[in-house]
């Protein structure tokens, strides 16, 4: 009988505990992304109310990235997808970021960058980079 009571108690308490640890991507996220055979780079995103701002690290300072004509941000459960598409001259580029919730202070990141260089009437060339890492919530 005590086993059943303990099991019932755990069944009632565990879902409440999991809900109390709710996923919330809002925050200032910073970390390192590693690209196989190419090294690593710092990435930073500030997410708030379903929108994000990306920052670039240059000469010891973080600078906000400019706005792009096509940006997106979506959350579903413990995953967030964000990214953008841009073009200029003969190139078109998109970058996508998948964030997976680890805990209140950590997300895993998967980054994909794809660029095409295509002059009118030519096939052009295409290249991509894929990296992964971990971002930490900054206080």
Q: Hey, where are the domains in the chain? A: 23-138
Number of other CB atoms surrounding residue 121 within 10 Å: 6
Q: In what order do the strands lie in the sheet with 61-64?
A: 61-64, 51-58, 39-48, 27-35, 125-138, 106-117, 91-103, 79-88, 70-76
For each successive 10 residues of the chain (139 residues), what is the average pLDDT?
51 46 91 95 94 91 84 95 91 95 98 88 86 96
Confidence at residue 10, expressed as pLDDT on a 0 to 100 scale? 47
DSSP letter, residue 122? S
Say if CB 33 and CB 54 are below 8 A apart.
no
Say if CB 41 and CB 53 are below 8 A apart.
no
Confidence at residue 129, expressed as pLDDT on a 0 to 100 scale? 96
CA angle 109, 46, 104 (to 5 degrees): 60
**What fold does the segment set 23-138 form as a domain?**
Porin (2.40.160)
Say if CB 94 and CB 82 are below 8 A apart.
no
Name 92's bridge partners: 87, 116
Confidence at residue 26, expressed as pLDDT on a 0 to 100 scale? 97
Confidence at residue 17, expressed as pLDDT on a 0 to 100 scale? 40
In degrees and rounded to multiples of 5, residue 37 shows phi and psi of 65, 10
């Amino acid at each position: 009988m005590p086993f059943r009571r303990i099991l019932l108690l755990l069944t009632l308490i565990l879902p409440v505990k999991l809900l109390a640890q709710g996923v919330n991507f809002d925050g200032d996220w910073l970390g390192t992304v590693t690209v196989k055979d190419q090294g690593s780079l710092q990435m930073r995103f500030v997410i708030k109310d379903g929108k994000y701002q990306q920052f670039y690290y240059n000469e010891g300072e973080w600078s906000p990235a400019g706005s792009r004509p096509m940006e997106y941000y979506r959350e579903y459960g413990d995953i967030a997808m964000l990214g953008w598409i841009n073009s200029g001259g003969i190139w078109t580029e998109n970058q996508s970021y998948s964030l997976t919730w680890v805990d209140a202070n950590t997300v895993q990141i998967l980054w994909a960058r794809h660029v095409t260089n295509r002059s009118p009437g030519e096939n052009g060339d295409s290249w991509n980079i894929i990296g992964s890492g971990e971002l930490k919530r900054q206080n």
